[in-house]
Structure 1
Amino acid sequence: MNKSNRRKFIGTAAAVIAVGTAASAMPLSTGKENYPVLHHVFFWLKNPDSKADRDQLVQGVKTLKKIPSIQQLHVGITADTEKRDVVDSSWGVSELLFFKDLAGQAIYQTHPIHLEFIEKYSHLWSKVVVYDIIEA
């Protein structure tokens, strides 16, 4: 190995070792957030064949994210998966909210944005089912 290649090798090796050392010193994230309270809501649309109604409700649900106690919000529509006896695809729109605690969920229930959502969009649904979950 000549001097030029040796210097290049040593320089590259030193850089790789420095990056590896810095990366190993960084804390690892578990990827799991601590939001033990979940509020899962299913909406049945009055007009289940209306994509416009569905899309309007989806947009309405997304406005709830402005409520400070909501840590995460996921909005969904029924997936076109295989039909099985255990799969209920009769609903149209779903919201899944994550809270740090029960107090945060209680704040959400009476928050003006939530009350406005109900007032503004309730004409779109015929039925609502709620599942409140606390991590076991």
Structure 2
Amino acid sequence: MNKSNRRKFIGTAAVLVAGTAATAMPVIYANHNEMNNKEEFPVVHHVFFWLKNPASKADRDQLVAGVKTLSAIETVNHLKVGIVASTEKRDVVDNSWAVSELIFFKDLAGQAVYQTHPIHLEFIKNCSHLWEKVIVYDALDA
């Protein structure tokens, strides 16, 4: 390898290393924030919905859109909306539901505000005709 090619190789390698490091930094930063969110928002509200018409993608999409409106409530610190994942079928996995919401609150008072908030009540009014069953799991960081 001559000097010119060696310099190009070293320059290219340095750019690749720097690019890889820069790309990894947001992931490290995001994981750091996730750890802080756990401590900052210790109240978890997880809701599972079973649709009246489970074969209807339109009903599922309408419910997903409705759940997403809940993020506008001021005490909702983080909202995730999910649909059933096609993961391995095991006895411990319940994939009978259609849509889930996972909300993080700073405290129990914030969760109480959410329950009676006009946006939450409007969501129930507009979307309750879509589901036949709802199960809620509320938890505190241990």
TM over 0.5: yes
* Amino acid corresponding to residue 64 of structure 2 in structure 1: V
Structure (1/2) with the larger helix percentage: 2
Q: In the alignment, which of 91, 114, 117 is matched to residue 85 of structure 1?
A: 91
Structure 2 unpaired stretches of 5+: 1-30
Greater C-alpha radius of gyration: 1
Size of the aligned set, in residue pairs, is 108
Normalised TM-score (structure 1): 0.78
Cα distance in structure 1, aligned partners of 2:74 and 2:120: 11
Runs of at least 4 residues off by over 4 Å: none
Aligned pair partner of 2:136 in 127, 130, 134? 130
Structure 2 residue corresponding to 1:76, chosen from 76, 82, 99: 82
SS in 2 for 1:116: helix
2:75 is paired with a residue whose SS is coil
Structure 1 unmatched ranges of 5 or more: 1-28
Deviation sequence 1:21-59 (CA, Å, 0-9, x none)? xxxxxxxx9422110000000000000011110000000
Identity %: 70
**Post-superposition CA distance 1:54-104 (Å, at most 9, x none):** 000000000000000000000000001111100000000000000000000
1:97 partner SS: strand
TM-score normalised by structure 2 residue count: 0.74
